Amino acid sequence: MAAKFVRERILAQASLLFYAEGIRAVSADKIIAAAGTTKVTFYRYFRSKDDLVVAYLQEQSARMRAWAAELDPDPCTGLRQFAEATGTQACTAGFRGCPFINAAAEYTDPGHPVRAVVSEHRTWLHSLVTERLQALGAADAGQLADQLLMLRDGAMVHGYVADGTAVGTALAAAGKALVLPRIPARKQAP
C-alpha cells in the first residue's frame, strides 16, 4: 500500500510540473524534491524520466477515457458535450494546451516510447469521434473525424496561446458546419 502511494505521489507531482512547465524543462531532481522522496526511491518506481513521462501520459489518457465514458450515449449530444468540454477546458486558468500535443512537440522521434503513447491516445480519440459520427450516419465518418480533431487541436492550441473564451463557440459552429451536411436529415438534432 505504501509503495503504491509513493509511486502515485511521484506521478502526481510530475504531472503537475510537466503540464505547467513542459516535460523537457522539468528535471528528475525537481520532481524528486516536489514529491519529497529520494533518487533511489524515484528510480525504484521509474527507471528513467522517460518511463515517468510515459506513465504521465498513460494516466492522462485513462482520465480522458473515463470522462468520455460518461458522455451522453446519444451520438449528437455526446459530440456536442465533447466540443463544449474542449471550450470550457481552454478557458480554465492555467490551461497549457493538450498534454499529448505538447508531448509530441517535445519528443520529435516517432519511434520514441512517448510518441507511441501519444499515437495510441490519438488513435483512441479518433475512434471515439468516428464511432459517434457513424452512429449519426455521417458520410466519410473517418475523414470527418480527422477534420473535427484538427479543429479540436487548433482550439486547444488557440486556448493556450490566446484568449480561450471564444474556443467553445467557434468549435461548436465549425463542427456543425462540417457535420450537418454529412448526416441524413432524420438524424439531425433540432
**Helical residues (DSSP H) of 23-166, grouped into ranges:** 28-35, 39-45, 49-69, 75-90, 99-106, 113-135, 141-161
Q: Give the C-alpha distances (Å, rounded to integers) separating 95 from 3, 13, 62, 131.
A: 31, 17, 19, 28
Structural domain that includes position 23: 1-47
Shared domain check, 61 and 143 = yes
Divide the 190 residues of the chain into consecutive groups of 10 and give the mean pLDDT of each group.
Answer: 84 97 97 96 96 98 96 91 83 88 96 98 97 91 92 85 69 67 58
The answer to whether the beta carbons of residues 96 and 20 sit under 8 Å apart is yes
Shared domain check, 15 and 80 = no
Shared domain check, 76 and 43 = no
Shared domain check, 87 and 76 = yes
Shared domain check, 86 and 22 = no
Q: How many residues does the chain have?
A: 190
Q: What is the CATH number of the domain that holds 73?
A: 1.10.357.10
What pLDDT, on the 0 to 100 scale, is given for residue 190?
Answer: 40
Shared domain check, 136 and 152 = yes
Q: What is the CATH number of the domain that holds 9?
A: 1.10.10
Helix (H), strand (E) at residue 107: none
Shared domain check, 89 and 40 = no
What are 130's three cell numbers? 468516428
What pLDDT, on the 0 to 100 scale, is given for residue 18?
Answer: 98
Shared domain check, 172 and 110 = yes
What pLDDT, on the 0 to 100 scale, is given for residue 109?
Answer: 96
The span from the first CA to the last CA of the chain, in angstroms, equals: 52
What pLDDT, on the 0 to 100 scale, is given for residue 139?
Answer: 84
What pLDDT, on the 0 to 100 scale, is given for residue 61?
Answer: 97
What pLDDT, on the 0 to 100 scale, is given for residue 166?
Answer: 67
What pLDDT, on the 0 to 100 scale, is given for residue 19?
Answer: 97
